[in-house]
Amino acid sequence: MDATDPLTTESEQDVRRRPAWVAFLARMPFTLSVVGVMLVLGVVTGALWTPFEDHPWFDVVAFGAPAFAEGHWWTPVTGSFFALLPAEYVAVAGVFLLLVGWTEIRLGTRRTAIATVVTQLVGVVGTAGGLALLTRTDWGWAQRTASELDVGFSAGTVGATTVLVLSLAQPWRFRASAVLTVYILGALVVWGGIADVEHLIGWLAGLLLARPLLGARLDRRTTTGRMQTARVNAAGYFAISALLVLLGTFASDSGGPLGTFGGEDWPSGLVSVTVDLVLALGLLRGRRSWWRLAVLLTALSFVLEVLAAVAAAAFDRHDLPLVVLMLLLDGGALALLVVRRSAFGNRRHARPGTGDTIDQQAAQDALRRFGAAQRLSWMTTWDGNDRWSPVGLDGYVAHQVHAGVAVALTDPVGDGPAGRAELVDAFVESAREAGLGSCFFSAGPELAALAADRGWTVVTVAQEAVIDLPGLEFRGKKWQDVRTAVNQAAKQGVSHRLVTLAEEPADVQDQVRAISEAWLGDSDLPEMAFTLGGVREAMDPAVRVGLAVDEDGRVHGVTSWLPVHAPGGEVVGWTLDVMRRAPESFRYTMELLIASALTAFRDEGALTASLSGSPLAHGDDTTAGGIGSVLDQLAATLEPLYGFDSLHRFKKKFQPRDVPLSLVVPEPATLPLVGLALLRCYLPDARARDLLGAARSSRSSG
């Protein structure tokens, strides 16, 4: 492109000046053209305010078997731009604008136009031809439907939507396909009008067109796993059954291709819908108890339908086709439940599978070899975590399982961003196979960006306070509090020592334990875990411990610092974990401990020091509804006991830069359980009465 070309430059400037909504509409010219023609013809013919069925042009414009019999070959085109009734224009034009417009934005104009036009023509012509052939039988529904005429672009809308749905990534592809399939087949069975047949043919045409139109996009997969698919399919049967019963309650006077459908009375219909939905939810969660109940009820229903089919055949009843359909559905569901019974088990002890669990030493070796994905990575080596390493991949994911959710602690430890991304996908997939939800807590920016790219839920749960050490000096007004702490400590004979706690004398270790026990004694809840270590973790020889000690050998406070490794094992940073001071200790104990450690790490050549993130404290960031509200409520309950927000404010004295730490949830369905799972991660030993006592303390403190 020649930047000096005045025509080109002017064109580019026009594009940049174009309003956002104009640019948005410019992405769907095909959709807007079709809707525009619909509205113009509706005004010209008066179809926007009077039923088009009463218009003298109707028999010449509308499509169907009678139109083709009279040689009106143009009707698949002309009939596509009208609606039967004025009120239907809202649905016909509105749904076309929404679904076909979305398809055009996502897939482009050419592919959308091909999908919409081809499936419309196939739907219209295929329906007319199929019904014309069926009129040679004595099937009453076919005779009646074949005599109808229809208008509208609905078959093309369904076909384009089918292609759109197949272009989505999993699990949305499967879910949207299931909804579309249920709608197409349910409407055909319940109402069975000519439009419903056109939708069926358009849907089938869309399925056939998807491969040539989508190509590699259709092959792009993030599978839900065989076990999860089995659960979803089994649950889907009962959900469909509930929908059919619900529709039958409203459609008792209609007659589809399988005969009159409906006639359910409200009490029995409500019971049936409730049982089906409860079974669907139980099967979706992979519970063996629900599997047994589903097998029992489905087998009983199958036997009753066999008897009903025999009776219908013997007495030449009109509902035989519907009975046979239900018999086939129950038979298929029963076969699926029996064949895939291994997909339903006891989830109480479920763990991600298809991999190995590595010990603490192997985890530390891997962390030194690959380097830390983020500054909290050493926490993954702590006891209490399972470290899962999938077959064929280097690295591991540290996690705990609570409330049916595998909660991964921070980013995986693996070979670079690509290797860690593979570990993320493998962990999510393996959790699904085990019937578990999954999430990543305290995920760094790398994992948060990966999750956003996949369309997963990402919620900021903390701000990590990171200090860049090269050139760090405690000068200027903003460092006044820190300088005061160091100066006052020197006057009172309190000094800082950076040690390996495991190598310290027994009396020093005893004082550290006493400080920790005194701190815990003020809380109604047991010591927190997960991203919060204690004295046991501080005894790790790889961990540096800061002690504030006076001239008499009394320990006033203690901090512990976790190593941060670069690939190859070099320690390039430190992360604060334990932060505790003794009762009636030196006033500026914590400021002295942190400032002195920062200075020591800087002088050793470390690049960064992290004051870690205050768990469940968002700082100035606010989370949206949903899981964010759950986390905020959890933080509000624990704040008076653990002081997350006050801790966050204290860290601001050291002028850190904030790095967001996130909660990543791949499956939205897991969100209701994530809050409970996180509570159990942080308080694994808390009993129900402890939590109730904490809640009462929280309310009284507020």
Model confidence pLDDT, tens digit, residues 323-359: 666 777 778 788 888 887 877 765 544 567 667 889 9
Peptide bond into 171 cis (omega under 30): yes
Closest CA to 648 of 661, 633, 634: 661
Q: Which residues pair with 356 in a beta bridge?
A: 389
pLDDT of 620 strictly over 60: no
- C-alpha radius of gyration, the chain, whole number: 33
Q: What is the pLDDT of residues 419-455, one digit of tens each?
A: 999 999 999 988 887 778 899 999 999 999 999 988 8
Distance linking the first and last C-alpha atoms of the chain = 65
Q: Which of 53-67, 220-234, 373-387 has the lowest mean pLDDT?
A: 220-234
Q: What is the pLDDT of residues 516-561, one digit of tens each?
A: 888 766 555 556 677 788 899 999 999 999 999 999 999 999 999 9
Of 3.40.630, 3.30.300, 3.30.70, 1.10.3470, which CATH number belongs to 348-456?
A: 3.40.630
8 Å CB contact between 378 and 332: no
Q: What is the pLDDT of residues 304-315, one digit of tens each?
A: 878 877 776 666
Helix pair angle (226-250, 172-190), 10° resolution? 30
Percent of the chain with pLDDT over 70: 79
Q: What is the pLDDT of residues 164-220, one digit of tens each?
A: 999 887 667 877 888 898 888 878 877 888 999 999 999 999 999 998 998 755 554
Tokens of 71: 């040689």
DSSP 319: T
**pTM for the predicted model, two decimal places:** 0.62
For the chain, the average pLDDT equals 82
Taking CA atoms, 88 is separated from 39, 55, 188, 615, in Å, by 12, 16, 19, 54
Residue 13 makes CB contacts below 8 A (sequence gap 6+) with: none
Task: Please indicate whether the domains covering 348-456 and 465-669+677-701 agree at the CATH topology level.
Answer: yes
Identify the three-state secondary structure at position 606.
coil
pLDDT band for 271, please (50, 70, 90 cuts). confident
pLDDT of residue 334: 86
pLDDT of residue 90: 86
Q: How is the chain split into domains, by residue range? A: 13-223, 227-345, 348-456, 465-669+677-701
Residue 21 makes CB contacts below 8 A (sequence gap 6+) with: none
Q: What is the pLDDT of residues 389-406, one digit of tens each?
A: 998 889 999 999 988 889
To which H or E segment does residue 574 belong?
A: strand 571-581
Closest CA to 127 of 36, 220, 199: 199
Strands (E), 306-429: 355-357, 386-390, 395-402, 405-409, 413-414
pLDDT of residue 450: 94
8 Å CB contact between 124 and 76: yes
pLDDT band for 322, please (50, 70, 90 cuts). low
Angle at CA of residue 320, ends 267 and 335, nearest 5°: 80
8 Å CB contact between 408 and 430: no
Q: What is the pLDDT of residues 106-165, one digit of tens each?
A: 999 999 999 999 999 999 999 999 999 988 877 788 888 999 999 999 999 999 999 999
Q: Does 465-669+677-701 carry CATH code 3.40.630.30? A: yes
Closest CA to 80 of 96, 56, 68: 96
Task: Identify the residue with better confidence: 57 or 163.
Answer: 163
Helix pair angle (154-166, 194-214), 10° resolution? 40
**665: number of Cβ within 10 Å:** 24
Helix and strand counts by DSSP (H, E) for the chain: 29, 15
pLDDT of residue 516: 86
Q: Are strands 555-565 and 571-581 parallel, antiparallel or unpaired?
A: antiparallel
pLDDT of residue 510: 94
pLDDT of residue 57: 87
Domain 13-223 architecture = Up-down Bundle (1.20)
Q: What is the mean pLDDT of residues 360-366?
A: 94
